[in-house]
Structure 1
Amino acid sequence: MFFVASKVIFFCIQPSSLAFLALAAGLISLSLKRSKLAAFFLSAGLGIVVLFGFLPGGNILVLPLEQRFASHVPDVPHEKISGIILLGGFEDGAITASRGGLALNESAERLTETLRLARALPDAKVIFTGGSGSLLGGEGMGAQIGQFFIEAGLDPSRIVIENKSRTTYENAVFTKALVNPKSDDTWVLVTSAYHMPRSVGVFRKAGYNVVPYPVDFRTRGRRDAIRPFDSISAGLQRTDLAVKEWLGLLAYWVTGRSAPLFPGP
């Protein structure tokens, strides 16, 4: 229920949807000759498009998320590592199922950096966790990811696959049932930089001692807070992504799935 509700609510309130709804309401108001109401809705819709589609509003929202752990990226962790936990979200299960191979999206760095870490830490387990996060359903990626790691030269005995989870909370809980983390275990957590604060909060709450390893940065740093986007669609996409994470942090904190509101180093 939580999963379905979160997907439906966010679809309705994400900035790109709000811009569309405001513009649509403005046009309807115009057709009804409600000029003041039309002006309000059209101004609101256009304001969202300009602020977050062209101006760097999306970057301003995503920067605090990415910067939270940006200065804590180790080259290769030096302490004894029990395992490397790779969060899904870098794959397109529907395309893979239809076309074959392993279809990756813009978050593919999660996978490539995990492989690099796995080779640098030959005694560590490699855990992939992630099922379909689509409300309409989709294909799990466990078999394809496991085969990718084997073909890349990893020992199959090191690989642990969890492909039922649909949320970050389920990533932590379902994986815990497979690996049974001990208090003296240390786990490298690999996910996109903007997603790291929420992920760290959830995994710590579940009892993991994690070393954050953020990848897939979407900004170059604070200078992007003044850099406009070169396409409206890119700006709105960045904004939707950032707003989703901020709302996720709030929801996980309110429901007790993460102890602090904004987990940090």
Structure 2
Amino acid sequence: MIYYLSKIFWLLVQPLNLAIILLLVALLAALVGRKKLFVTGSGLAFLILALSTWTSLGALMLNPLEERFPRPLLPEKADGIVVLGGGMEGAVNFVRGGYELSASGDRMLAAAVLARHFPTAKVVISGGIAMIGDGEGDAETAPRLFAALGVTADRLILEKESRNTYENAAFTRELVTPKPGETWLR
């Protein structure tokens, strides 16, 4: 249930989708002769599109969240590294067979760097196919990327069923249970 609610929520609040919905409402209002609703809906749609494409408002809103916590110092040893999905372009990778990264792909590169720094640590990659037509999940693509970056397949633990961040965390927790005294990076 949470999965479906999260998909509906993000469908409605993403700027482009919200602008399209507002334009549809405005067009329906125009068809039934509601001029004020037409002007309001189309004006809000234009404002959303303008702010999201011609300004850096999104980055300005995200920056305080990203800078809220300092980057932690690395421990002396790590037994495992957990990478949650969302770092790969599944549709492109499915067609090309490569390892195209998304805007969140830095998490995959950071995990590979950590894996090279801690050569005995296991690497858990979590991420299945979120929606039909998304191509490959991150856990399907990641072995090709990690092999190209010098991390052997025997170190990888792949969780291929999750469809969102909540499921990434829950399914990974079921798959890997750290023992007392172990250090796992996430």
TM-score category by the smaller chain? 0.7 to 0.9
Q: Specify the alignment match of 1:237 in structure 2.
A: none
Find out whether 1:98 has 2:95 as its counterpart: yes
Write out aligned runs for 1:105-254 (5 A).
Answer: 105-134=102-131, 136=133, 138-189=135-186
In structure 2, what residue type is equivalent to 1:49? L
Work out whether residues 4 and 135 of structure 1, in 8 Å CA contact, stay in contact via their aligned partners in 2. Answer: no
- AA aligned opposite 1:114: A
Q: Distance in 1 between matches of 2:34 and 2:141?
A: 55
Partner of 2:50: 50
Which protein, 1 or 2, shows the higher relative CO under an 8 Å CA cutoff with sep ≥ 6? 1
Q: Could you tell me which runs of 5 or more consecutive residues in structure 1 were left unpaired when the two chains were aligned.
A: 190-265
Percent identical pairs in the alignment equals 35
Structure 1 residue matching 2:110: 3-state secondary structure:
helix
Query: 1:34 and 1:170, CA in 2 relative to 1: closer, same or farther beyond 3 A?
Result: closer
CA RMSD of aligned residues (A): 2.4
Q: Post-superposition shift, 1:135?
A: 5.4
> Partner of 2:3 in structure 1?
3
Distance in 2 between the 1:52 and 1:151 partners?
Answer: 36
User: 1:35 is matched by which residue type in structure 2?
Assistant: K
Name the SS for the 1:128 alignment partner. Answer: strand
For 2:15 and 2:150, locate their aligned partners in 1 and report how far apart those are by CA, in whole Å.
43
Q: Distance in 1 between matches of 2:50 and 2:137?
A: 37
1:13 match? 13
**SS, match of residue 72 in structure 1:** coil
- Look up the equivalent residue of 1:72 and give its one-letter code: R
Distance, in Å, in 1 between the alignment partners of 2:123 and 2:115 is 7
Mark the runs of 5 or more structure 2 residues left unpaired by the alignment: none
Q: Tell me if structure 1 keeps the 8 A contact 2:85–2:165.
A: no
Residue equivalent to 2:79: 82
After superposition, give the CA deviation of every residue in 1:169-221 in whole Å (9 maximum; x if it has no partner): 222222222221234332211xxxxxxxxxxxxxxxxxxxxxxxxxxxxxxxx
Q: Distance in 2 between the 1:153 and 1:136 partners?
A: 30
